[in-house]
């Protein structure tokens, strides 16, 4: 078992899609098996709550199941599925945003129980394992924007369209979200270590995103 959802399988995704549309009752299940871990990651990170993520993942897959006939092969099956599940997640984010009686602190509380970590930032250790827990502390709209832009590589303009807001709003949400994640994911070095640590600015890590347009250099 590899983590790669496109591991060595006998039939490729397009074949499975055709078999599904043709009435093979097992074909879609195989597609789900192949892609669910990838899409689970997207849903959990975007929504920050495992129950919501499970519902969105189910909604997305069922939607894809029913809409399989409309799949034209313009994009890879995995891209098509990704988009449908992301849309299912966005639906939930927008519904939650439209519901004023669902305050953010509550979703934070729930996320904490799933993360198994207390709200004290000191409890977070800056490892990858904590990315999901850290994301779960964000307000839902900031989280969705940040996950789509920084983790899923969706262009900002597309994210703005998905979320129904301006490009600047997406950028602003991402910026505030990164600032909130800062102490959780990249805690400041302790005073004792600081002297020994290499000069931080010169170690700027290889980043997928080049410094954005605001960089005046």
Partner 1 sequence: MTTGHLDATRLAEHAEGLLGASEAAAAQAHLQECAACRATAARLESVTAMLATAPPTLPTPAHVVAKLDRALADENAGTPLRAPVIQLSWFRRKAPQLLAAAATVGVLGFAGWAITTGSDGGDDAEEATTAESGGGEDAPEEAADAGIAADSDLQSADEEAAAEPLQADDGELAAPAAALADQIRAVAEQGPGAERDAADDTCGLALADELGAELVGTAATDVTGEAAVLVVVRSDDDPAVVHGWVMPACDATVDEALNELRVELD
Applying CB under 8 A, which residues contact partner 1? 3, 5, 21-23, 25, 28-29, 32, 36-38, 40-41, 44, 50, 53-54, 57-58, 61-62, 65-66, 68-69, 126, 128, 131-132, 146-147, 150-151, 153, 168, 171-172, 174-176, 178-179, 181-182, 185-186, 188, 200-201, 203-209, 211-216
Report the nearest approach of partner 1 to the CB of residue 188 (Å). Answer: 7
Report the nearest approach of partner 1 to the CB of residue 119 (Å). Answer: 18
Alpha-carbon distance of 71 to 37, in angstroms, equals 21
Residue number, 10 or 207, with CB nearest to partner 1: 207
Report the nearest approach of partner 1 to the CB of residue 98 (Å). Answer: 25
Residue number, 93 or 181, with CB nearest to partner 1: 181
Report the nearest approach of partner 1 to the CB of residue 177 (Å). Answer: 8
Alpha-carbon distance of 183 to 214, in angstroms, equals 23
Residue number, 101 or 207, with CB nearest to partner 1: 207
Report the nearest approach of partner 1 to the CB of residue 45 (Å). Answer: 8
Residue number, 72 or 208, with CB nearest to partner 1: 208
Q: At what angle do helices 77-97 and 50-67 cross, to 10 degrees?
A: 130
Alpha-carbon distance of 39 to 152, in angstroms, equals 11
Alpha-carbon distance of 125 to 146, in angstroms, equals 20
Report the nearest approach of partner 1 to the CB of residue 164 (Å). Answer: 20
Residue number, 100 or 116, with CB nearest to partner 1: 116
Read off the tokens for 173.
């949400």
Q: Which residues are CB-contacts of 44 (< 8 A; sequence separation ≥ 6)?
A: 50, 53, 132
């Amino acid at each position: 078992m590899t983590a790669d959802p496109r591991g060595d399988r006998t039939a490729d995704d397009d074949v499975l899609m055709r078999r599904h549309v043709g009435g093979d009752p097992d074909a879609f299940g195989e597609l789900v098996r192949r892609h669910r871990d990838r899409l689970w990651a997207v849903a959990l990170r975007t929504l920050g709550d495992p129950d919501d993520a499970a519902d969105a993942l189910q909604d997305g897959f069922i939607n894809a199941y029913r809409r399989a006939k409309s799949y034209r092969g313009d994009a890879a099956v995995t891209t098509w599925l990704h988009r449908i599940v992301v849309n299912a997640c966005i639906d939930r984010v927008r519904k939650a945003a439209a519901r004023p009686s669902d305050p953010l602190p509550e979703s934070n509380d729930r996320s904490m129980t799933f993360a198994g970590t207390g709200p004290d930032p000191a409890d977070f250790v800056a490892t990858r394992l904590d990315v999901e827990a850290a994301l779960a502390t964000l307000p839902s709209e900031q989280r969705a924007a940040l996950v789509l832009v920084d983790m899923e590589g969706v262009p900002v303009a597309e994210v703005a369209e998905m979320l129904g807001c301006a490009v600047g709003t997406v950028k602003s949400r991402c910026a505030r979200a990164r600032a909130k994640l800062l102490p959780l994911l990249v805690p400041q070095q302790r005073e004792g270590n600081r002297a020994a640590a290499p000069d931080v600015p010169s170690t700027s890590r290889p980043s997928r995103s080049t410094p954005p347009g605001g960089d005046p250099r």
